[in-house]
A = this chain, B = another copy of it.
Amino acid sequence: MILLTRKAEFSASHYYWNEAWSAEENARAFGKCANRNGHGHNYTLEVTVAGEVDPVTGFVVDLKQLKDVMEKEVVAAYDHRHLNLEVPEFKAANPTTENIAVAIWRRLEGKIPGARLHRVRVYEMPDLFADYFGG
């Protein structure tokens, strides 16, 4: 068993807000992230798949197919978007680094030919990242 990880990037806007709270409560909980004009990040996504090495090709996964799935399922939906306003899974849940990792897992799960999704890592900034392993 071996793990293979590929990175991709997307640039997006977001803010944190809880509709059930007052503006004061939102500011207290989320600080500068509660600014509803939004702010943004260059997100880095690492997708790790697990599998056996194919003795004919030497690959765990076809890299072109993996790249295409990541592009189609994630980057096309998130890049140059406002996550709260344009991405359905964040209508009701804050697009925190944690929630983005879970959402990307759900977008990718079962769609990678010949390998098992093992981990989704999302960096919001170089000094902050979340890991999700499913389940």
Contacts and interface: CB of A to CB of B under 8 A. Distances in A.
A101 B2 contact: yes
Interface in A119-133: 125-133
A81 B2 contact: no
Contact of A38 (B6, B16, B40): B40
A94 B58 CA distance: 6
A69 interface: no
B42 A98 contact: no
Interface string A28-45: 011111010111111000
Contacts of A48: 131
Nearest to A39: B80
A102 B53 contact: yes
A80 B32 contact: yes
A39 B11 contact: yes
A7 interface: yes
